[in-house]
Homo-oligomer: A and B are copies of this chain.
Amino acid sequence: MSKTIFYHAGCPVCISAEHDIINLIGKDNVEVVHIGENRSRIEEAEKLGVKSVPALVTPNGNVLHINFGALIADVKG
């Protein structure tokens, strides 16, 4: 993979972090994925190592879990 992906679930912590990340990295440099609305991408996030949201997956595959919004398990319900 060669892009940065920000996974979130729409929670207030997520939205706040999303704004911060976009301001820091630039809107065109990060794909924002709402796994609460786009549930087909939950499995993808899990495979990448995302344990909670909001999380940023870097181009080299590292996962940065930011603050704490919700566990992936809770998003899956």
Contacts and interface: CB of A to CB of B under 8 A. Distances in A.
Nearest to A67: B65
Interface of A: prevailing SS: mixed
A20 B58 contact: yes
Taken together, the copies of this chain in the complex come to 2
A65 B69 CA distance: 12
Contacts of A65: 66-68
23 contacts: A4-B24, A16-B62, A17-B64, A20-B58, A20-B60, A20-B62, A20-B64, A21-B64, A23-B58, A23-B59, A23-B60, A24-B24, A24-B25, A24-B29, A24-B56, A24-B58, A25-B25, A64-B66, A64-B67, A65-B66, A65-B67, A65-B68, A66-B66
